[in-house]
Structure 1
Amino acid sequence: MAFGKWAVTGALALLLTSTVGGFTGEQSRAEAASVLGYYTPDDASYQALTTYHAYLTGISTDSFNMNTAGGVIGDVPTQALSYAKSHTLATYACFSNFGTDDFDPALAHTILTNSTVRQKAITNMVNTVKKNGYTGINIDFESVMAKDRSALTSFVKSVSEALHPAGYKVVVSVPAKTQDDPSDGWSGAYNYAALGQYVDFLQVMTYDEHGPWSEPGSVASKSWIEDSLKFSVSQVASSKILIGLPDYGYDWNLTTSRQEDHHQIAGKNIAALLQKTGAAVKWDTATTSPYFNYTDSKGNKHVVWYENARSIEEKAHLVPAYKLGGASVWALGMEDNTFWAAVQKGMKP
């Protein structure tokens, strides 16, 4: 998922229509590309679900973390599940290795390599999916150590073998990359080709190209996304690939240059910041991304890179261009009112 879990809480049948639009025409749900929206446990995410559901084919509820005993931490979002089911949306229970304040590689290592914990985790995850009537599961283990590469693939295989025979779907989230280096500390654990054998969808997180941890830059440049997709479809059937689209940006404090002074900003809050600061939006052709500069009340200079309708439409068009399974969006509740129409327009062949 994006930088920090639910970083902006304080931080997808296409035949359906609503007062805000949605996919229309002769395309059936089975024929249409998937649009998976990530749901977080807050009011803004629920409001977005009820407002923009017609643009979605499913949701992944980012509600559950695992612990070192293989237990599931988190509450079932019953209201969101009920709403999604009543609007015939697919539902996925998302399980992560998020620890105290970030994704925890040691926690993932324990779950993946301790046989007792591993079996308990699989049992508890599968039971959560079945008990609550989910369509399937979304495994979101991030920052997994390179040495756990085989263990991660084996874990996904076991989860799939526990769910697929009963008709449940399996989604696995993976970091975007342009080559497979098994020793790479960030992405080495994720063997696309092997994982692709056991999943219905590989959700490639083509966002956070830059962020508070890096120099300022695009959240998801089109060229970077495309390079990642070229590698992805060389490893896994394109129909199994979900592109990742962000509906947020990042604000860097150029004066202090301290990571703690940089932050994520929801797409829906960009307009207010522009109005408040009088900043002028600029367009970076090289990255197909908008950005702007401003000075805050303390005299600190800032730069904000984000996504708007123009950039999202262009990036969403990579779905038909590469014949992908669809798109995923992080996260429901962060978008402005132009976002979903741009996704819809971009995904048209």
Structure 2
Amino acid sequence: MRIHVVQSGETLWQIAQNYGTAISQIVLLNELENPDLLVVGQTLVIPEPGSEYVIQPGDTLWQIAQMFGVSVQELAAANNIADPSLIYAGQLLQNPYFTHTVSAGEYIWLIAQWYGVSPEQIIAANNIEPPGLIFPGQQLRIPAPVKPLTEVNGYITRVDAQGVPEVMRLGKYLTYLSPFMYSITEDGSLTTLPEQPVLEAARANNIAPLLVVTNFTQNEFNSDLAASVLRSTEAQEQLINDLLEIMRAKGYAGVNFDFEYVYPEDRENYNQFLRLVVARLRPEGFLVSTALAPKETADQVGLLYEAHDYAAHGEIVDFVVLMTYEWGWAGGEPWAIAPINKVRDVLDYAVTVIPRDKILMGVPLYGRDWEIPWVEGTFASTVSPKEAVQLAAANGVSIQYNETYQSPFFRYSDESGQEHEVWFEDARSMQAKYDTVKEYGLRGVSYWALGTPFPQNWPVLQDNFTIRKY
């Protein structure tokens, strides 16, 4: 897979010719509604001819396997497909092998070194008999290099039947699915959630569901609500009992606590509560995780940060989600949602107190549109990355890219003459984030939130990692 940035005067036909691929492959992979309308600065993900294929309407996995010269089982396994009869137009499939034509003087060990695989893998893939002789002109199947194994969590807010198509279509990319949300009440009991449809879709795709528990009520995170539970032994007992009952009944694999704006004086209460939860849930095989505000220092001041004890969470729970987004928040000035320099500042601190293999880095799947000049008290509207590009196209403006923040942005004027500034994500910004995950050796990523059209993210993710499944 390649990432191409559209230049002035380019057409999709020219781009397809330059990469040796079909226009239809690019159109489907990028969900281009009008292939004749490209935006300068727009990114396109381009499949590699021969080794990658974008599923077309009417395709079957058997047909694609025949084209690649592999079995259906090999192709399904290489692409995390749980049910070979369920594939979706626009998904990228990768061939588990590619072809090497032997030249004079070559031998298996040397070829294996070139491609980063073992001689034994090449011998097994080609059914070569001992002593492993090959000859010039022979075509060898070379196993695709192994990509880093990672875990991927996706929060989802559409938890009824409306959310099912999204989970089915993106299921192969997810380790965990986190339906948002169950809220606590003052006595520790939990509210209800009609999430059974997305849980069934998760099971069909070998995704481990996580039950999300929050102190969210009446459209905001409530500090007093968190305090009422964290300061009461009886309420905590009620919460843990309710939690276990729901998890057992609905088939959850674990829990994710997203307690925000907790009073600083409840910091140790929160830590001790997590210890109680782990003591009750871990013997039954349940995972325990938390969502943490993006802190850059241990003593960072602010209601959002002070009760989130990175070191304690890193020691107590199985993993944490660092909410490394919302620098460009709806009620603030225009800015990148997850500027990579700020994300790295958080990670630089986090890895000193939390084991790297316990950190999921938060990643936004959305952008924002601000009216400018920004006025305090006004709020930006949320846009998907796909909608952002359509906005730029509709207003005839080019997309720019901030190298410091590793984020695309643009400005436009609406029909009334009001100026706007839009920050969002594209294939380049996501590649920067995945490079960061690999550089820091993290457990994986966590998306906020599924349901936002961002077709380019998924092939970029797939190009970088093998997704762990449970």
TM-score, length basis structure 1: 0.89
C-alpha change, 1:76 and 1:24, in structure 2 (3 Å) is farther
3-state SS of the aligned residue for 1:197? helix
**Equivalent in 57, 63, 67 of residue 185 of structure 2:** 67
Asked if residue 81 in structure 1 is aligned to residue 199 in structure 2, the reply is yes
Counterpart of 2:441? 323
Query: What SS does the corresponding residue of 2:336 show, helix, strand or coil?
Result: coil
Q: Indicate the residue corresponding to 1:113 in structure 2.
A: 231
1:241 aligns with 2:359: yes
Rounded Cα–Cα distance in structure 2 between residues aligned with 1:313 and 1:192? 27
> Which amino acid in structure 2 is aligned with residue 38 of structure 1?
Y
Distance 2:237 2:380 in 1: 40
Question: Contact conserved, 1:149 with 1:190, CA < 8 A, in 2?
Answer: yes
Contact 2:323 2:361 (8 Å CA) reproduced: yes
- What is the CA distance between 1:112 and its match in structure 2? 0.9
Aligned to 2:151: 34
Query: In the alignment, what sits opposite 1:294?
Result: 412
Q: Match of 1:21?
A: 92
- Large movers: runs of 4+ above 6 Å: none
Distance in 1, matches of 2:93 and 2:172, equals 5
Show CA shifts across 1:124-150 (max 9, x none). Answer: 122211221100101111111211110
Equivalence map 1:90-101=2 (5 Å): 90-101=208-219
Query: Which range is displaced more, 227-236 or 18-27?
Result: 18-27
Aligned to 2:346: 228
Report the CA distance shift for 1:75/1:304 in structure 2 as closer, same or farther (over 3 A). Answer: same
Q: Which amino acid aligns with 1:143?
A: Y
Which residue number corresponds to residue 288 of structure 2? 170
- Quick check: 1:66–1:95 contact (8 Å CA) kept in 2? yes
Taking structure 1 as reference, are residues 221 and 158 closer, same or farther at Cα in structure 2, changes over 3 Å only? same
Show the 5 A alignment for 1:139-154: 139-154=257-272
Identity %: 28
Matched positions, count = 333
Sort the Cα spacing of 1:324 and 1:72 in 2 relative to 1 into closer, same or farther, 3 A: same
Cα distance change on mapping 1:64 and 1:24 into 2, 3 Å: farther
Q: Which moved more, 1:268-277 or 1:200-209?
A: 268-277
2:174 is the counterpart of 1:56: yes
Q: Within 2, Cα distance between the matches of 1:246 and 1:253?
A: 21
**Distance in structure 2 (CA, Å) of the matches to 1:199 and 1:237:** 11
Q: Which residue of 2 aligns with 1:8?
A: none
Give the Å deviation of 1:52: 1.3
Please tell me whether Structure 1 or Structure 2 has the larger radius of gyration of its CA atoms: 2
Partner secondary structure for residue 293 of structure 1:
strand
Tell me which amino acid in the other structure corresponds to 1:303: E
| 332 and 22 in structure 1: CA distance in 2 versus 1, 3 angstrom threshold | farther
What secondary structure sits across from 1:307 in the alignment? coil
Q: Decide which moves more: 114-123 or 144-153.
A: 114-123
Q: Is the 8 A contact 2:388 2:422 kept in 1?
A: no
Alpha-carbon offset, residue 293 of structure 1: 0.6
Query: What CA distance in whole angstroms lies between the structure 2 residues aligned with 1:24 and 1:98?
Result: 45
Question: In the superposition, relative to structure 1, how do residues 261 and 235 fare at CA in structure 2: closer, same or farther (>3 Å)?
Answer: closer
**Superposed displacement of residue 269, structure 1:** 2.0
For 2:341 and 2:373, locate their aligned partners in 1 and report how far apart those are by CA, in whole Å: 29
Q: Which moved more, 1:70-79 or 1:177-186?
A: 177-186
3-state secondary structure, aligned to 1:259: coil
2:321 corresponds to which letter in structure 1? Q
Unaligned runs of 5+ in 1: 1-12
Backbone CA RMSD of aligned residues? 2.2
* One-letter amino acid of the structure 1 residue matched with residue 292 of structure 2: V
- What is the CA distance between 1:45 and its match in structure 2? 3.9
Partner of 1:212: 330
Contact 2:168-2:205 within 8 A present in 1 as well: no
- Separation (CA, whole Å) in 2 of partners of 1:124 and 1:230: 37
Asked whether the equivalents of residues 146 and 186 of structure 1 are also in contact (C-alpha less than 8 Å), the reply is no
Q: Distance in 2 between matches of 1:196 and 1:14?
A: 33
Q: Conserved in 1, the CA contact under 8 Å of 2:188 and 2:236?
A: yes
In 2, Cα distance between the equivalents of 1:65 and 1:104?
Answer: 10
| Corresponding residue number in structure 2 for 1:304 | 422
Counterpart secondary structure, 1:225: helix
CA distance in 2, matches of 1:135, 1:334: 25
Tell me if structure 2 keeps the 8 A contact 1:245–1:316: no
The one-letter amino acid of 2:248's match is K
- Aligned mates of 1:205, 1:220 — CA distance in 2: 10
SS in 2 for 1:85: helix
Secondary structure, aligned partner of 2:181 = strand
Q: Which runs of 5+ in 2 are unaligned?
A: 1-76, 82-86, 97-142
Q: Distance in 2 between matches of 1:75 and 1:44?
A: 14
Letter in 2 for 1:49: V
Q: 1:88: Cα distance to partner?
A: 1.1
